[in-house]
Amino acid sequence: MEYALIALVVTLTSTGQVLQKLGADRGLKNAKSFSQTIAALFQWEIILAVICLASAIVIWLAVLYMMDVSKAFPFISLGFVVVLLSARFYLHEIVPWNRWLGVVFIVAGISLLAQT
């Protein structure tokens, strides 16, 4: 149950992160004044990102209710693995070796954590 919830949080946060980056690139980067910065926060990318992250956080509270935070929080790094796998097998990108090595380290770390 906890792990299914963590998986859901990871999916929602990775989606939210990508949307944040898209939003930051499109609007915030070119904002020259305070009012332009505020306006840039209301683009659809940012609003969708906030919806993803807001639902993720309620689910995350349920995870924290059931689990140690020092155990649960590092599981969020699985987001990197999800993004990398989708880049390779869904977007057919070439993924350099250092990234695969990173995934091996993350998965090894997660499996140690899962035993505690």
Partner 1 sequence: MKKIESNAMILLSFSVLLSACAQLFMKVSMIQLQLHGGTDFGASFFFIIFENNAVLVWLFAGLSCYALSMLSWMLALTKYELSFAYPFLGITYILVYLGAVYWEQIGEQMTWQRTAGIILILIGVVFVNYKNSIKEEEVL
Binding residues for partner 1, rule: CB under 8 A, are 20-21, 23-24, 28-29, 53, 57, 60-62, 64-66, 68-71, 73-74, 77, 80, 84, 93-94, 96-99, 101-113, 115-116
- Give me the amino acid identity at 54: A
Task: State the nearest-atom distance from the C-beta of 34 to partner 1, in Å.
Answer: 12
Q: How far is 37 from 52, CA to CA, in rounded Å?
A: 21
74 closest CA partner among 114, 20, 102: 114
Task: State the nearest-atom distance from the C-beta of 83 to partner 1, in Å.
Answer: 9
Contacts for 39-47: CB closer than 8 Å, 24+ residues apart: 45/19, 45/20, 46/19, 46/20
Task: State the nearest-atom distance from the C-beta of 18 to partner 1, in Å.
Answer: 10
Query: Toward partner 1, which CB reaches closer, 11 or 31?
Result: 31
